[in-house]
A and B are shown apart, each in its own frame.
Chain A
Amino acid sequence: MSETASRGFDDGGPFYSATMKHPGIWGWLTSTNHKRIGMLYLALIGTFFSSAMVLGVIMRIALFSPGMHFLSAQTYNSLFTLHGIIMIFLVVIPIIPTIFGNFALPMLIGANDMAFPRLNLFTWYLYLAGAVLAFISVFTNGGAPDTGWTFYVPFSLKTSVNVPLATFAVFVLGMSSILTGINIVTTVHQLRAPGMTFFKMPLSVWGLYSTAWVQILATPIIGITMLLILVERIFGIGVFDPTKGGDPLLYQHLFWIYSHPAVYIMILPAMGVISDLFPVFSHKNVFGYKMIAFSSLAIASVGSLVWGHHMYVSGQSDTAGIIFSFLTFLVAVPSAIKVFNWLATMYKGSIRVEPPFLFALTFVFLFTIGGLTGLFIGALAVDVQLHDTYFIVGHFHYIIFGGTGFGAFAALHYWFPKMTGRMPAKRPAILGWFISFVGFNLFYFPFLIMGWMGMPRRYADYLPKFTGLQRFASIGAYIMVVGLVIIIGNLLRSRRHGEIAPANPWGGATLEWSLPSPAPLENWEEPPEVTRGPYEFTDPEEGTR
């Protein structure tokens, strides 16, 4: 069935080559179309991810042997600070909502665009501005911050590097995130197609929706915290300065009140994507739809109550520590529910081994390891030993990189046909996946061991006893990078040379697969009427190749 003929109007061709009001690059920079904005974000986020990855590789090279070789401690401090700022604020927080939320959400709910298309474009410019400010901070006024991405006081108030511009950049990026959250909540409430009740929405939409609430409710706190750093440095108001009666620990409270929910901003959309992928590649309805949906909300809410677990050894009261520890264990429950439901979805399903699904499976594996290590450090007594060691670094890389990172790769491979009209080449994708998966574990598992042995984080040097494990990890990192290069290179190449994709290559039942591949600029002339759930498959052969 010809896609264009069935659509009843001239769709003007793929969204990326449609005739816009302005030609060429201006057509991209002035477009308020959700798919184009998604691609704009992809371009920037891909660039920043690569640069932060390079910073990480430099660190791994420097740490290959004990002793200081080509980096001063000061430079090393700036490296991990920048690596953290870029990865957290410029990559992992925005990656799925701004790329796939923008690209896919309207299609997933049967809408023609987001609720506020012009605001959407504005968020991209805000994001770009934040990135530019962060970049400028590296080269001006004392140079790159060396405080760690956490900007803890009193050091961030005293250090002579460019903390003000960096914190202001974070403020601007926070504004971008807030506005994206507002756009997503309004879109989900107002623009669902007729017949799409909340419980007929794809679970990826539930993921984006829960995340958007966290973006709205938590991000203002980092906003005010960054402003306070600025005001403290410039005016010395005293709120974090003990000589004026201020309490440095209150900074940590304010900082983590956002930054803990921030990790749920990172993981919830990825979980949502995975929730869409498991049913599709098992060609079977998801197990426990409502439980997964409610778990998303539960993670978002309970996850906003646990920030003190970053502060067990900072001087916080024991009472607070106990309460936060209890809440931290609670928040593991909805995540576990999701893992069980994903796996149960596979049972008696018709499994299709395709790159998106391989990434989804490894998401579950890596996220589970990361999540379990979270239980270790959620326990007060254990954290006393493990806080600020490589164990923490291993924990969050497993969760964030293994989770959101691999989730993003899953999403990218899954929606690639809708974005480009071509399939990602299967063999290179699987090769890249395998190499990066192996490399990832060789890289980060030793971190868990080294942390246990007492290796502190953010140190430019280490005791000789760690040499073996550090080298092992560094080699793992290089292997992982090779895998990542293959993945990214394959995707870039497949844009032009991949097999031409049909409208629904994977056999999905969500609405975006009823549109042509690549998607046109305008989605539907009339909103589609939704009668079935997102994972009700009719044709057992659909999606096999």
Chain B
Amino acid sequence: MSQSEGKTTSAAHPGNRSYLTVWGALVLLTALTVTMASLDLGALAIAAVLTIAAVKSSLVLFYFMHLRYERRLLIRLLMPIVLATLAIFIGLTYTDILYR
């Protein structure tokens, strides 16, 4: 069983340097989001911090969890399906909350 066997189970594979770069970006984004939260942005604050959270999650999903290199359509569609499902659950609940 040669060691190159391990590489056949996944397609292109980020190297150690890519992982470190992603980690650096995540730390920077964390610093950014903490800074933004201490500024007085009012209503924009929650939008900004959530956007940054979404970007950070995407980095983890695409690089650490290899979604960027994932060939199977089923796996690539899963997060969109789950997020759409959650959005619908929350959205339809709001048709009640907002109009009571």
Contact = CB atoms under 8 A, between A and B. Distances in A.
A249 B96 contact: yes
Interface string A318-335: 111001100000000000
B92 A318 contact: no
B89 A221 contact: yes
Interface string B71-100: 000100000011001001100110111111
Nearest to B78: A216
A217 B81 CA distance: 9
Given A317-B98, A318-B99, A253 B85 contact: no
Chain B interface bracket (under 10, 10 to 19, 20 to 34, 35 or more) = 10 to 19
A308 to B, nearest CB: 7
At the interface, is chain B mostly helix, strand, loop or mixed? helix
A305 B2 CA distance: 51
A320 B88 contact: no
A316 interface: yes
Interface residues of A, number: 20
Give the interface centre of B81, B85, B92, B100 by most chain A CB atoms within 10 Å.
Answer: B92
Contacts of A324: 92, 95
At the interface, is chain A mostly helix, strand, loop or mixed? helix
A217 B80 CA distance: 12
Contacts of A95: none
A320 B92 contact: yes
A201 to B, nearest CB: 16
Contacts of B96: 249, 253, 308, 311, 316-317, 319-320
A221 to B, nearest CB: 7
Nearest to B96: A320
A498 to B, nearest CB: 42
Contacts of B99: 317-320
Interface string B22-52: 0000000000000000000000000000000
A256 to B, nearest CB: 10
A257 B99 CA distance: 19
Contact of A217 (B82, B92, B93, B98): B82
Interface string A450-470: 000000000000000000000
B88 A305 contact: yes
Contacts of A167: none
Given A189-B74, A217-B82, A308 B92 contact: yes
Interface of A: 189, 217, 221, 249-250, 253, 257, 304-305, 307-308, 311, 315-320, 323-324
Given A305-B92, A316-B96, A320-B95, 13 more contacts: A217-B82, A221-B89, A249-B96, A253-B96, A257-B93, A307-B92, A317-B98, A317-B99, A319-B98, A320-B92, A320-B96, A320-B99, A323-B95
In the A-B complex, the 7 residue pairs with the smallest Cβ-Cβ separation, listed nearest first, are A317-B99, A320-B96, A319-B99, A320-B95, A317-B100, A316-B96, A317-B96
